[in-house]
């Protein structure tokens, strides 16, 4: 099984007390101190958009997306800009994490399947888990984060705004009736 001896390089980062890693080949850039412009009427894990090399790209709050506890307290969060595949298109997104830790090399045979975890944490996006000196590192597949939700996200958008419009209209009408 020569395949198992192949080394792959990963970028490791932390969210809260957990350590994660993403294939370096997917990472375009790591941004610090970048202000994110929020977009109204979007799901809560959708932090907003940023200007990345002249393009407007969406930014995902990885913590919320993975169902991890806690909120971003520190202003010094980091955005990892990654390229992901959605169907046949390559799209660029930013993922907010707490800190970027290291670039590590992992042999394929070191990667173990993901064990059952706390129900709150969504394990579908994890490729596997690796033992490290201070515990475990979870390898994330960002392709899946978007694919699984894209359709939902879009309908959520339109649904949310439609409901809101209807509400407003109703409210207004009621008021008119009253007066």
Partner 1 sequence: MDDLEKFRELFIKEATTLIDSLEEILLDLEKDSNNLKRVEEVFRVMHTLKGVGGMYGYTGVGDLTHGLESIYDQVRNGNISVNNEILDLTFASIDHLYSLLEDQEVRKPENIARQNEFQLRISKLVNTIKKGSDIKRKLPEIKKSDKSTYNIIFQPEEKIIESRINVLYSFKDLAELGEIKAIKSLTSDDNKERWSLFFVGNCTVDEVEEAMMFIWEFCTIEKVADFDLFDENELNARQEFIKSVEVDLVADSSSDDEVTETDNSISKTVTKSTTVLDSIRQNMNRVSVDSEKLDYLMYLVSELITNNSQLALLTVNQSFDSIRPQIEKLDKLSKLFRNNVLDIRLIPMRDIVPKFQRMIRDISKQLGKEVEFITEGMDTELDKSSIDVIVEPMVHLIRNAMDHGIESPEERAEKGKTPKGVIRLSAYYSGNNVYVKIEDDGKGIDEDVIRKKAISIGLINKEDKLSEKEILNLICHAGFSTAQQVTSLSGRGVGMDVVKQKIAEIRGEFEISSKKDKGTTIIMKLQQSVAILDTLLVKSESMKWLIPLADVEVCSQITDSELDKFERTGTLEFEKELIPFISLRSYFHNNKNKVESLKVVVLRKNNQRYAIVTDEIVGQHQAVLKDLGRLMKNHKEISAASLLGNGEVAFLLNTNVFYESMAKTGVN
By CB under 8 A, name the one of 28, 31, 72, 91 that touches partner 1: 91
Distance CA 26, CA 44 (A): 24
Please report whether residue 80 would count as binding partner 1 according to CB under 8 A: no
Task: Fill in the per-residue mask, 133 to 152: x = in contact with partner 1 (CB under 8 A), - = not in contact.
Answer: -------------x---x--
Please report whether residue 51 would count as binding partner 1 according to CB under 8 A: yes
Rounded to the nearest whole angstrom, what is the least distance from the CB of residue 92 to partner 1 in the complex?
Answer: 8
Rounded to the nearest whole angstrom, what is the least distance from the CB of residue 87 to partner 1 in the complex?
Answer: 9
What H or E segment, with its residue span, contains residue 50? strand 46-52
Rounded to the nearest whole angstrom, what is the least distance from the CB of residue 143 to partner 1 in the complex?
Answer: 14
By CB under 8 A, name the one of 15, 27, 49, 79 that touches partner 1: 49
Are the C-beta atoms of residues 156 and 38 closer than 8 Å to each other? no
Tokens representing 85 are 């595949």
Task: Fill in the per-residue mask, 7 to 46: x = in contact with partner 1 (CB under 8 A), - = not in contact.
Answer: ----------------------------x-xxxxxx----
| Pairing status of strand 135-140 against strand 126-132 | antiparallel
Tokens representing 155 are 């309908």
Tokens representing 22 are 């993403």
Q: What SS3 state is found at 96?
A: strand
What H or E segment, with its residue span, contains residue 87? none
- DSSP annotation of 53: T
Residues that bind partner 1 (CB under 8 A): 35, 37-42, 48-51, 54-58, 86, 89, 91, 93, 146, 150, 153-154, 157-158, 161-162, 164-165, 168-169, 171-173, 175-176, 179
């Amino acid at each position: 099984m020569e395949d198992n001896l192949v080394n792959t390089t990963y970028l490791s980062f932390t969210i809260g007390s957990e350590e994660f890693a993403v294939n370096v080949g997917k990472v375009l850039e790591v941004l610090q101190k970048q202000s994110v412009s929020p977009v109204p009427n979007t799901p809560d894990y959708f932090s907003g958009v940023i200007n990345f090399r002249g393009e407007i790209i969406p930014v995902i709050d990885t913590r919320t997306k993975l169902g991890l506890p806690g909120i971003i307290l520190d202003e010094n969060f980091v955005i990892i800009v990654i390229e992901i595949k959605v169907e046949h298109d390559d799209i660029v997104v930013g993922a907010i994490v707490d800190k970027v830790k290291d670039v590590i090399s992992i042999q394929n045979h070191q990667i173990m399947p993901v064990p059952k975890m706390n129900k709150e944490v969504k394990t579908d996006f994890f490729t596997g888990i690796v033992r490290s000196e201070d515990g475990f590192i979870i390898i994330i597949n960002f392709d899946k984060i978007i694919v699984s939700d894209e359709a939902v996200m879009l309908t959520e958008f339109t649904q949310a705004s439609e409901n809101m419009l209807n509400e407003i209209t109703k409210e207004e009408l009621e008021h008119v009736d009253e007066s």
